[in-house]
Amino acid sequence: MMNPPLRQKSFARAILEYGPAILITICIIIFWEVSIDLFRIPSFLLPKPSAVAVQFISMWKIVLPHMWVTLFEAAMGLILAGAISIILAVGIVHFKLVERTVYPYAVATKVIPIIAVAPLLTIWFGFGIAPKIVTAILVSYFPILVNTVKGLQSADRQMVRLMRSLFATKYQIFTKISVKYSLPYVFAGFRISSTLAVIGAIVGEFVGADRGLGFFLVIAQSELDVRKMFVGVALCALLGLFLFLLVVALERYFLFWHESAETSEEMI
């Protein structure tokens, strides 16, 4: 495979792309900080962002290990969810029997509320890291499954006809054509699932853990310490964002050939 073409981003372009988001965030934080005093909101209901920052700085050594734990659970959950979903999707697309048996169960599993299932999982899997990875999988698998199925069916019809005219085998059509055509869809599924996996891991930690951001939140809740809760929530959001951006970065690398990827010509 040849190397993908380089994309040069000028400094000005970077500012244009990220600038507005950063500006808005700063405005929101300032407004938040000021309105606590302005509207006399009691600090136990809503703390100032400065208070939250101070809280984080005072305990970052304690809270970061929790974040790594949750990151690991979410990442593992996402990877396993991806692997399972992709395998199932391939089965669904190629064997009608699999489609008829697996798809209804996939939908049914999605519908069961995870908060009800999580305690059951601790009974079956104990209190280690396993049930958290399972909850992460359960919460995040569905978008990948659905998108991969669609993606595998989205290969260009002409191309498939061309392959058939060459008497290509089903396997050849699958490996040379379908797989790569499905990638944009698969990545779209992973984008959605990346944030869901974080939620799943945290829900798993709520019902029985001694480490992780979910556990940290539970402690903060029991101490009625709102600033700690906000630190926890902010870190959860950052975690979700991190996984999401990771998926986007991988997507940019693997899908450089897709129309949606920017080229220097199109950037005016």
Partner 1 sequence: MPDRTEYISIRDISVQFPAADGPILALENVSIEIYKEEFFSIIGPSGCGKSTLLNLIGGILRPSSGEILFPGNSSDPFIKRGKVSYVFQEPVLLPWRTLLENVLLPLEVLGLSTSDCHQRARDLIRLVGLEEFESAYPKALSGGMKQRACIARALVFDPSTLLMDEPFGALDEITRTTMNLELQKIWLQTRKTVLFITHSIQEAVFLSDRIGVMSPRPGYLKTVVEIDLPRPRSIDTISSPEFAAYMATVRGHLHGTAGVK
Partner 2 sequence: MKAVRVGMGILILCLLSIQSIASAEDVAFRLNFKPAAPHVVYYLAKERGWFQEVGINLQITPGTGSTDSVKLTAAGQFDLAEAAASSLIVGRTQEIPVKAAAMIYQQSPTMLMVLESSGIKTLKDLIGKRVGVRYQGAVFPEYVALLKKNGIDRSQLKEIQIGIGETPLFVGQVDALSNYVQEAPRFEKQFGKKLNILLFTDYGVNFYATAIITSESTAQKKPEMIKKFLSTVARTWKYVETHQEEAVNALVKVFPEMEKEALVTELKIFMPLMRNEVTDKNGWGYMVKERWETDINFFLEQEVIKKKVDAEACYSNAFIAR
Q: Which is nearer to partner 2, 210 or 265 (CB)?
A: 210
Q: Which is nearer to partner 1, 51 or 177 (CB)?
A: 177
Q: Which residues contact 3 (CB under 8 A, 6 or more apart)?
A: none
Of these partners, partner 2, partner 1, none, which one is at the site of residue 222 (CB under 5 to 8 Å by kind)? partner 2
Question: Interaction with partner 2 in 76-135: which residues (CB under 8 A)?
Answer: 119, 122-123, 126-127
Q: How far is the CB of 87 from partner 2 (least distance, A)?
A: 32
For 23-92, give the DSSP string.
HHHHHHHHHHHHHHHHTT--TTTS--HHHHHHHHHHHHHHHHHHHHHHHHHHHHHHHHHHHHHHHHHHHH
- If you search the block for the tokens 């984008």, which residue do you land on? 191
Question: Interaction with partner 1 in 236-265: which residues (CB under 8 A)?
Answer: 257-259, 263
Stretch that binds partner 1, among 16-24, 68-76, 152-160, 239-247 (CB under 8 A): 152-160
Q: How far is the CB of 72 from partner 1 (least distance, A)?
A: 32
Question: Which of 210, 208, 215, 207 is closest to 236 using CA atoms?
Answer: 215
Residue 172 near partner 1 by CB under 8 A? yes
Question: Which of 25, 51, 49, 48 is closest to 37 using CA atoms?
Answer: 48
Give the sign of the dihedral formed by CA 29, CA 31, CA 35, CA 38. Answer: positive
Residue 7 near partner 1 by CB under 8 A? no
Binding mask 243-262 for partner 2 (x = CB under 8 A): --------------------
> What is the enclosing helix (H) or strand (E) of 20?
helix 11-38
The rounded distance, in Å, linking the Cα atoms of 212 and 190 is: 23
b/e burial code for range 35-60 (CB count within 10 A of at least 16 → b) = ebeeeeeeeeeebbbebbbebbeeee
What the block records as the tokens of 122 is 């601790």
Residue 171 near partner 1 by CB under 8 A? no
Residue 114 neighbours by CB distance under 10 Å: 19
Of these partners, partner 2, partner 1, none, which one is at the site of residue 156 (CB under 5 to 8 Å by kind)? partner 1
Question: Interaction with partner 2 in 181-220: which residues (CB under 8 A)?
Answer: 206-210, 215, 218-219
Q: How far is the CB of 158 from partner 1 (least distance, A)?
A: 4
Q: Which is nearer to partner 2, 40 or 96 (CB)?
A: 40
- Residues in binding contact with partner 1, number by CB under 8 A: 21
* Residues contributing to the site for partner 2 (CB under 8 A): 42-45, 119, 122-123, 126-127, 206-210, 215, 218-219, 221-226
